[in-house]
Amino acid sequence: MLLRKISCILFLSLMIALFSSPAFCQIEDSSFLHPAWGFETTEGWKAGSGITKLEAKEGKLRLKSSGFSYITSPELFFDTGINGMIKIRMRSDVPYSDAAIFWVGKTDKTFDIRKNIPFSIRKDNKFHTYYISMRKSPFWRGKVIQLIFSPSQDEGNFEIDYIRVERASLFGRLISGLQEFFSFETIKMRTVNIIMGQTLGGKHINFWAYLICFAIFLIVSAKNILFRWKSEDTFSTLKKALSTTIIVALVLWIGLEARILMDQARVMSIDKKDYAGKALEEKRSQSILGDFYDFIRFFKERLPKGSLVSVIFPSVYFREMGAYQGYPIRFTEKEGQEYLLVYYPNETQRKRINELKEYAPFLKFKDNQYIFKLKEKF
């Protein structure tokens, strides 16, 4: 009897796996229905913003990115109904960056920021296959006419072995879910205001935890009501079910914590690499965007202590960080102070600087990093 049951289960599992496998479903395996690129050539993929190099070599598409970057696919026409998974085998040397796939639909031809699936890529510069379940997005529907792949938001090198658009098999979805759950929440994603937490199947992990708790509550209640209704009243039955649910919630909490511990270990390893054994000045330099700290040191050394200076900086981050690290030099946004600090001005700021006839260049640190001085004070 038991053997029959086991054989039945095995047979059913086999059938499910078979029916959901890409091989079975690809009745007409054409690149038209399921586009795929092996990159003997660039195969129509083009460099978008931030890509400084794009070439196909030894069956790999090699990219160099200078920040937020993307590449665009050739013109496509495939149905999302039979394509729920994108498989990308690639490697990267960017430390913990988030990649993303965007798409353009036939009916909604505009590029829409909501139409994207982000995923984490590993930094070890080894080839990994990433399974991206596209069904996580409610916008993955109808026909797709173009894919846009953004490998990174940081500077780095990438090599793509292949990109395949496939049917979402059970195995693929399982791997995709695991990759999603264990993906590292990058430092950038965490802010002082929120830690996003893991997702699974595009839904927050807490959703699944609540679902489990609710299912347990229902199961235990049903079991107790069905089998013990004579001996216990419904109220105490529900109470027992709720107790079990709380225990399950506590166990799930520990599970979530174990997952968070993995991220914290990774954060420690990154911070150790970035900061351990360094002098205070080096640590400051490491923690501040770009080469801004070098500029801070430059003006702190050159300007008289306690000076109040006008600043033209590209963002409020640089202004406030400069004010903090630069003290006792004090900053003001008002023009007309004896000194004017300029750090990577944007187009509008550049024009403004040209209009400021009362200032003349005083010291140059690097390109786009200057100290101006009032002409009358020279």
Partner 1 sequence: MEFFKLIFALLIPFAAGYCVTSLILIRREESGPLERFALAFLIGSGILSLEMLFLSFLRIPFSVINITLPLLTLLALPATIIFRKKACFIDTKGWLHLIKQLVSGPKNKNMIIFVAEKALVIFISLKILYVLFEALIKPIVGWDAFAHWSIKAKIFFFEKGIPLLPELMAYVRSKHGDYPLNLPFLQTWIATCLGSWNDVLIKIIFPTLFICTIFLIYSSLRRSKERINALFFSFLFASLPFAVYHGSIAYADFPLAVYYTASSLFLYRFICEKKTSFLLISAIALGLAGWTKNEGLALFVINLLVLFFFLIFSSMETLKERSKKFFAYAGVSLLFIVPWQVFKLLRGLPTSGDQMPQLSKLLEHAPRLPVIIIKFYEKMFFSGNWHLLWVLFFLSIILYYKKAFSAPRAYMLLMIALNIFVLGFIYYSTKSYSFLLDGTTLNRNFLVFAPIAIFFIGDILKLAEGKQ
Chain residues binding partner 1 by CB under 8 A are: 185, 190, 192-198, 204-207, 209-210, 213, 239, 242-243, 245-246, 249-250, 252-253, 256-257, 260-261, 264, 267-268, 271-272, 274-276, 280, 283-284, 286-287, 308, 317, 320-321, 323-325, 327-328, 330
> Which residue is associated with the tokens 């013109």?
75
- Residue 139, CA distances (Å) to 101, 107, 175 in order: 12, 11, 22
Question: Residue 33: which residues within 8 A CB-CB, separation 6 or more?
Answer: 26, 78, 79, 82, 83
d(CA 245, CA 232): 19
CB-CB contact of 285 with 296 (8 Å)? no
Nearer residue to partner 1 within complex by CB, 160 or 321: 321
Instruction: Give the nearest distance from C-beta 130 to partner 1 in angstroms.
Output: 22
Q: Which is nearer to partner 1, 204 or 228 (CB)?
A: 204
Coil, strand or helix: which one is 282? Answer: helix
For the bound state, the minimum distance from the C-beta of residue 105 to partner 1, rounded and expressed in Å, comes to: 28
CA distance 136 to 199: 10
Pick 124 or 257: Cβ nearer partner 1: 257
Q: Are 114 and 139 in contact (CB under 8 A)?
A: yes
Distance of CA 170 to CAs 18, 19, 20, Å?
Answer: 10, 9, 6
**Nearest to partner 1 of 17, 268 (CB atom):** 268
CB 283 → partner 1: shortest distance, Å?
5
Q: 54 or 312: whose CB is closer to partner 1? A: 312
CB under 8 A, 24+ apart: contacts of 188-191: 188/98, 188/153, 189/98
In the complex, the smallest distance separating the C-beta of residue 192 from partner 1, rounded to whole angstroms, is: 5
Report the alpha-carbon distance of residue 369 to residue 298 in Å, rounded. 10
User: What minimum distance in Å lies between the beta carbon of 341 and partner 1?
Assistant: 16
In terms of CB distance, is 17 or 250 closer to partner 1? Answer: 250
Least distance from partner 1 to the Cβ atom of residue 214, Å: 10
83 burial via Cβ count (<10 Å: 0-12, 13-18, 19+):
buried
We find the least distance from the C-beta atom of residue 20 to partner 1, in angstroms, to be 30
Return the number of the residue (24 or 327) whose C-beta is nearest partner 1: 327
Task: Report the alpha-carbon distance of residue 280 to residue 72 in Å, rounded.
Answer: 43
Nearer to partner 1, 145 or 249 (CB): 249
Closest distance to partner 1 from the beta carbon of 124 (Å)? 23
